[in-house]
Chains A and B, each alone.
Chain A
Amino acid sequence: MAFEGLADRLQNTIQKIRGKGKVSEADVKEMMREVRLALLEADVNFKVVKDFVRKVSERAVGQEVLKSLTPGQQIIKIVNEELTALMGGEQSKIAVSNRPPTVIMMVGLQGAGKTTTTGKLSLLLRKKYNRKPLLVAADIYRPAAIKQLETLGKQLDMPVFSLGDQVSPVEIARQAIEKAKEEHHDYVLIDTAGRLHVDEALMGELKDIKELAKPDEIFLVVDAMTGQDAVNVAQSFNEQLGLTGVVLTKLDGDTRGGAALSIRAVTQTPIKFIGLGEKMDALEPFHPERMASRILGMGDVLTLIEKAQASVDEQKAKELEQKMRTATFTLDDFLDQLGQVRKLGPLDELLKMMPGANKIKGLNNLQIDEKQIAHVEAIIKSMTKAEKTHPEILNSNRKRRIAKGSGRPVAEVNRLLKQFEDMKKMMKQMSGMQMKAKKKGGFKFPFKPF
């Protein structure tokens, strides 16, 4: 996930200092070099890095760290605070015009993900804010761009306004807003063509659209993998159009995403959303403070908790806890639990949010195949009620039947049963003692259904 490499690096650096009782100025300098390299390696713009390192080392060399009893902790704290500050103070919202429709313009380079993001944003507006958006296909240049938005519109059951690729984008925007007023759409999302920030003619076209549509928001869509140039792109779009927000896409890749830090720092434009996948609901608000703690390898616990609260049935969770304690946990409960966990989202994303997860060997590159979980579900669902409660009655005949019913090999049925047994054993141990903080290297993942 995005900032993993950075987190590892900073943690290694801090590890060096942690053991020491006292930190010298030379130590701070050494560490700042590491911080600097880590940030540069993560594609953070070098100017931003410079400022950042200067600020952190000023505070570090100042009394804060040198006099502190826990210098390592202090430095983590400073780096964390500065990182959060760098990425902007708070979480951002979407504007609402007091004279609807609210107009949002999506702009950016080619291939950044404008059209996909436009689709995602419309879904978010409808689902979370109960709005009625109209999508506007104003990319008349790229072959089949209009078709792409129309297809997304169909998938989402969202109206799409288009006039083909022979009408100027300005005219398309004009008619679209008119239509939105007539049909009482409260949001208009204009998907513009990708263009280079140095292309004067096409940038002029965007200015014309802006002039006419008077958008309440202009979102710059930026690929999270962008290198040092991200700053130039963002700055140029900002100077010419006056951006109100940035959407960072493709953050589900393994890029370190330093662009996030630099764009915000250099343009002062808030990052409002992040794109985390190709599914239409994979758009999330950008939380600077969470991103900062993720950078430091402290895990994104807040998001995890928020997700869990949104999708886990508390009553069920209590029952489950009871069952775990009394070790009357059955395969049925297991199935239930799987279902609940899956509601939280893709499992590998969840793992990445766990504090220290990137420290566990093997987990770093662990890929969880959602299909394999579906297989586990199929196997359990192919059991009778009695079998699910008393798996010990499963003989080879029954297993063969289950294998047939689920379309999986018998070996897989056996593996699942073995894992389930192991899991039960672990639960017994866990209920026996308080699960203390993991010992070094002694932490094993409770079960692997794959």
Chain B
Amino acid sequence: MSFFKKLKEKITKSTDNVTEKFKDGLAKTRDSFSGKVNDLIARYRKVDEEFFEELEEILIQADVGFDTVMKLIDELKFEVKRRNIQDPADVQSVISEKLVDIYNAGEEQSSDLNIQQGSLTVILFVGVNGVGKTTTIGKLAYKFKSEGKKVLLAAGDTFRAGAIDQLEVWGNRVGVETIKQAEGSDPAAVMFDAIQAAKSRNADILLCDTAGRLQNKVNLMKELEKVKRVIEREIPGAPHEVLLVLDATTGQNALVQAKTFKEATNVTGIVLSKLDGTAKGGIVLAIRNELKIPVKFVGLGEKMDDLQKFDPEKYVYGLFAEQIEQTDE
């Protein structure tokens, strides 16, 4: 449990409101998750098959990826046997340990963005329909702008009705320029224009919106590859980040999304949106564990400043706060 102790020390030192935001945003997750684990442990007198089945359900209910759950349960069963644990109360520490293990299996990955100093940084946003790509871009533009950077937006969603206007409204709100073409035009052409504009205006950051697409639509995925190719061709080394926006309410399909978009566009990071609304955030564990893509930001609300840098430690703290507090005793 020393991991939790270290974590706690670290967190208590940085008692800024970001931690509070994480705690607030994850309050529901925590209640439903660790509350249930505690309840489960209180109810069972013996560690048996039924106990594991119920634990399995709790994890699944948190939308932790299915395979991850299976793996975790198998490992738990093994540990319980090895240490000859009979009392459910003793399992709790093993559960926490294993969850942290799974989480750490993703290696140390920074959630920092790959920002070019002194030259243009291009960030491409991809994802399925309705996950919050445009909103995330708006929030991120605000963040960069307040850091004193010159930001440009590229309206690459030329397909959905009103998408260009939506981005433009965000642009006006934040006070940055939006490069656009007419609805229905080639998104790759919009990117080309936007890059030229970014170069001539000496912009620091170019945020590229794309239309939402379901990952099983091969032709649309090819279109996305083309968009990326155009960016690559115009600026060597770009896009410097490809961020996949995932809706936190999504179930197992989020893994498929991450996998397919990674294949098509070499996703470098994930933005987990709408984490304030859902009671679950478990899919993050699965994604880290199975795909090794780091989560870079989480969306915790609808306001401009509701996009927070993903801090794994704070996230784990929010998720397992009760367990962490217990290590104190």
- Which residues on A are within 8 Å of B, measured CB to CB? 37, 40-43, 45-46, 50, 109-113, 115, 141-152, 155, 196-199, 223, 225-230, 232-233, 250, 252-256, 258-259, 278, 367, 369, 371
Q: How many Å lie between the Cα of A227 and that of B274 in the bound state?
A: 13
- A221–chain B nearest beta-carbon distance, Å: 10
What is the chain B residue whose CB lies nearest that of A46? Answer: B57
Q: How many Å lie between the Cα of A249 and that of B81 in the bound state?
A: 45
- A225–chain B nearest beta-carbon distance, Å: 4
B266 on interface, CB distance cutoff 8 Å: no
Which residues 17-51 in B have Cβ within 8 Å of A in the complex? 28
B129 on interface, CB distance cutoff 8 Å: yes
B189 on interface, CB distance cutoff 8 Å: no
Which residues 151-176 in B have Cβ within 8 Å of A in the complex? 159-163, 165-166, 168-170, 173
The segment from B107-115, B213-221, B313-321 found at the interface with A is B213-221
| Cross-chain pairs A/B with CB under 8 angstroms, 13 sampled | A110-B132, A144-B162, A151-B162, A223-B247, A225-B254, A226-B251, A228-B251, A230-B251, A250-B128, A255-B251, A258-B251, A259-B251, A367-B219
Which residues 89-136 in B have Cβ within 8 Å of A in the complex? 128-132
Which B residues touch A46, using CB under 8 A? Answer: 57, 60-61
Which B residues touch A141, using CB under 8 A? Answer: 302
Which B residues touch A142, using CB under 8 A? Answer: 166
Specify which of B57, B130, B159 is in contact with A113 (CB 8 Å cutoff).
B130
Which A residues touch B183, using CB under 8 A? Answer: 151
Which B residues touch A152, using CB under 8 A? Answer: 161
User: Beyond the given A46-B57, A145-B166, A148-B160, could you list 10 further A-B residue pairs with CB under 8 A, ordered by the A residue number?
Assistant: A109-B249, A110-B130, A111-B274, A150-B162, A228-B280, A230-B249, A250-B129, A254-B253, A255-B256, A256-B253
Specify which of A111, A151, A230, A254 is in contact with B132 (CB 8 Å cutoff).
A111
Residues of B in contact, count (CB < 8 Å): 47
- B219–chain A nearest beta-carbon distance, Å: 6
Q: Given that A111-B132, A228-B60, A229-B280 are known contacts, is A254 also in contact with B247, CB under 8 Å in the complex?
A: no
Specify which of B138, B247, B278 is in contact with A111 (CB 8 Å cutoff).
B247
What is the chain A residue whose CB lies nearest that of B161? Answer: A151
Q: Given that A198-B277, A227-B252, A227-B280 are known contacts, is A40 also in contact with B128, CB under 8 Å in the complex?
A: no
Is A147 in contact with B214, judged by CB distance below 8 angstroms? no
Nearest 6 CB-CB pairs, A to B?
Answer: A227-B251, A111-B130, A148-B162, A143-B169, A151-B161, A144-B165
Is A253 in contact with B214, judged by CB distance below 8 angstroms? yes
Is A198 in contact with B28, judged by CB distance below 8 angstroms? yes
Which A residues touch B63, using CB under 8 A? Answer: 227-229
Q: How many Å lie between the Cα of A146 and that of B166 in the bound state?
A: 10
- B128–chain A nearest beta-carbon distance, Å: 7
Query: B289-311 interface mask toward A, CB cutoff 8 Å, 1 = contact, 0 = none?
Result: 00000000000001000000000
Q: How many Å lie between the Cα of A111 and that of B159 in the bound state?
A: 16
B270 on interface, CB distance cutoff 8 Å: no
- A138–chain B nearest beta-carbon distance, Å: 15
Which B residues touch A144, using CB under 8 A? Answer: 162-163, 165-166, 168-169
Q: How many Å lie between the Cα of A232 and that of B62 in the bound state?
A: 12
Q: Given that A110-B130, A228-B251, A250-B214 are known contacts, is A196 also in contact with B283, CB under 8 Å in the complex?
A: no
B208 on interface, CB distance cutoff 8 Å: no
What is the chain A residue whose CB lies nearest that of B277? Answer: A196
Which B residues touch A109, using CB under 8 A? Answer: 249, 274, 277
Q: How many Å lie between the Cα of A294 and that of B280 in the bound state?
A: 29
Specify which of A143, A151, A253 is in contact with B215 (CB 8 Å cutoff).
A253
- A29–chain B nearest beta-carbon distance, Å: 12
Q: How many Å lie between the Cα of A197 and that of B278 in the bound state?
A: 9
What is the chain B residue whose CB lies nearest that of A38? Answer: B66
Is B166 in contact with A148, judged by CB distance below 8 angstroms? yes
Is B253 in contact with A253, judged by CB distance below 8 angstroms? yes
B191 on interface, CB distance cutoff 8 Å: no
Is B283 in contact with A227, judged by CB distance below 8 angstroms? yes
Is A110 in contact with B274, judged by CB distance below 8 angstroms? yes
Interface centre among A148, A225, A227, A233 (most CB of B within 10 A): A227
B204 on interface, CB distance cutoff 8 Å: no
Which residues 62-83 in B have Cβ within 8 Å of A in the complex? 62-63, 66
Q: Given that A110-B132, A225-B253 are known contacts, is A252 also in contact with B214, CB under 8 Å in the complex?
A: yes
Which residues 248-266 in B have Cβ within 8 Å of A in the complex? 249-254, 256
- A284–chain B nearest beta-carbon distance, Å: 17
Which A residues touch B214, using CB under 8 A? Answer: 250, 252-254
Is B252 in contact with A223, judged by CB distance below 8 angstroms? no
B279 on interface, CB distance cutoff 8 Å: yes
Which B residues touch A37, using CB under 8 A? Answer: 66
- B183–chain A nearest beta-carbon distance, Å: 8
Specify which of A40, A226, A232 is in contact with B66 (CB 8 Å cutoff).
A40
What is the chain A residue whose CB lies nearest that of B54? Answer: A46
- B138–chain A nearest beta-carbon distance, Å: 8
Interface centre among B162, B165, B169, B283 (most CB of A within 10 A): B162
